[in-house]
Amino acid sequence: MSSQKNMAYHMELCGEIAEFLDMPTLTRFGGCARGVHLMATRVADDRAHRWFQGVWPAPGWGRGPYWKRLADALQPRRLVLTYRGAAPDCTFLVGAVLNTKLEWFLEFEMTVSKAGNGTPCLGLVDASTQLPPEQLQSGFVPRDMSRRGSRAGEMAVSFSPEWGRVFASSLVQSGQKCYRTATLNWASLGDSTATWNETIKAGFLIKDRQLTFYRGNMGGQWRSSGVILEDLPDEVVPAVFMSSFVGFARVNFSNLWTSPPGVSCIHCDKLGHGFSSDWCSWPPSSNK
């Protein structure tokens, strides 16, 4: 057998082996040789496309092959940690693009204390929003895209799990872009100005282009807002939003699930659905 045929047979055999390896073993296997590395990368990329249909890394996000950029985007991690003075208005992008026709639940953990003003908000941004490459790569946008400083055509929605306040930008009325805010039919949770507060869970459900907010405790007791927004863009990027915040805040991205958590009491949960106050202009002076 010639050397070329022997090499082709060897690579074919490596490809068959690679298909049966788990991801940690596959990445180690790819370190054997350059040819094996290219083959292992192809197998890993194909596997990531197949296993994670409807979710992919944001354009420009991360480095390396597709599977690694997707893994980095979905990696549980800390997105916000501020403990001194005033934090700048900003948006932290999770880095993953989600197809809103499918079902996704984004879970976060949040601790807020000594907060004299503002609280972190969770939500999403229209994936078609045009952002500079450096902002896409870093996942940091130096403005709260859900309530001020947005550019024409940007759609972003956020909510405060503690206070139940919702903000939305680029809701179009009479052909004009506008900002809106509303209050969920939830009681305020805790006292963000306290010396120390317990960590809470929060998240949101995307299903059939509809958006539902959730909050819960570390014991796994959840409640939902019911559907608060329909006709989402086809593709969105999850995000954390900060605006006029002063105090301590820590927000961690925990996980991406394909279904929401169960609520502790279905009847009680329905009583808290919807808004206690309807959408109105934001800021109030925008009516003048």
Digit-coded pLDDT (tens) for 3-36: 554 444 444 555 555 565 566 665 665 556 566 6
246 has which bridge partners? 86, 117
182 has which bridge partners? 166
Under CATH, which number does the domain 72-287 receive?
2.60.120
- pLDDT one-digit tens code per residue, 201-249: 999 999 999 999 999 988 888 999 999 999 999 999 999 999 989 889 9
Per-residue confidence band for 288, with pLDDT thresholds at 50, 70 and 90: very low
Whole-number pLDDT of residue 188: 84
Residues forming CATH 2.60.120 domain(s) in the chain: 72-287
Between 209 and 43, whose confidence is greater?
209
* Lookup: tokens for 88: 């700048």
| CA separation for the pair 203, 145 (Å, rounded) | 18
Nearest to 214 by CA among 262, 257, 254, 170: 262
Nearest to 279 by CA among 229, 232, 238: 229
Contact (Cβ atoms closer than 8 angstroms) between residue 36 and residue 30? yes
- pLDDT one-digit tens code per residue, 64-115: 899 889 999 999 999 998 877 778 899 999 999 999 999 999 999 999 988 8
pLDDT value at 149 more than 80:
no
- Three-class secondary structure of residue 38 per DSSP: helix
- Three-class secondary structure of residue 10 per DSSP: helix
Whole-number pLDDT of residue 31: 58
Whole-number pLDDT of residue 186: 92
Whole-number pLDDT of residue 5: 47
pLDDT value at 174 more than 80:
no
Mean pLDDT of the chain: 83
How confident is the model over 126-139, as a mean pLDDT?
Answer: 91
pLDDT value at 195 more than 70:
no
Per-residue confidence band for 286, with pLDDT thresholds at 50, 70 and 90: very low
pLDDT value at 40 more than 60:
yes
